[in-house]
Amino acid sequence: MENLSIADASPQGRGAPQPLPQLPPQMFTTAAQLLDLTDTNLVLQSTVERIFAPSPESAGSDRPTGLYADINHGIFLVRGENVLLLGEIDLDRDDDPPPGFEPGDLDVVKKLAEEKKAVDKAREKARVKKLAKQGFEGENIGEIVL
C-alpha cells in the first residue's frame, strides 16, 4: 500500500476520474413542459348553472329532497389555471335532476339557497370560534375572529 499525501502527484497510468453516469435528457421534465400539459383554456357553449335548494325537512336524511332551477349562461370561458380535471360526462344522466328534487321558480330557489348558505356560514363561524377558544387555528381564522 502506498503512502501518499495531498501534495504528491497522482500515480502515472491512471487516467482522469470517470464522470458520473448521467440520465438521458428524456428523463427530465421542465416546468414549462408541465405547464404546457395543464395550461389550457376551455370555451364551453350552451352552459347551464343548476342551483339546488334542499328542503329543511330533508336535512340529515339519506335522500334529500328540495327544489332546483336552471340559469342559462351561454358561452363560458374557463382559464387554464382553473382546469384541474376533466372527466367523462354521462350524457344519458346529464339532464336528469337527482331523485327527490323538483323544478322550481328561479327566484324562490335562489332565495332558499342563499338562506341555507347563510345558515351554514353562521354554523361554521360558531364552530371555528369554539375551536379557536381551545387553541385550534383554521385556514380562515383571522377573518372570523376579527
- Which cell numbers hold the place of 14? 491512471
Q: What is the pLDDT of residues 63-95, one digit of tens each?
A: 888 999 999 999 989 887 777 666 777 777 777
Burial pattern 39-49, b for ≥16 Cβ within 10 A else e, equals eeeeeeeeeee
Architecture of domain 37-145: Roll (2.30)
**DSSP state letters, 6-67:** TTSPPPTT--SPPPPP---GGG---HHHHHHHH---EEEEEEEEEEEEE-GGGTTSSS--EE
pLDDT value at 136 more than 80: yes
Q: What is the pLDDT of residues 7-55, one digit of tens each?
A: 666 666 566 677 777 766 665 666 566 666 666 788 889 999 999 998 8
Determine the 3-state secondary structure of 144 from DSSP: helix
Q: In the chain, helix, strand, coil percent, each to 5?
A: 35, 20, 45
Q: What is the pLDDT of residues 105-128, one digit of tens each?
A: 999 999 999 999 999 999 999 998
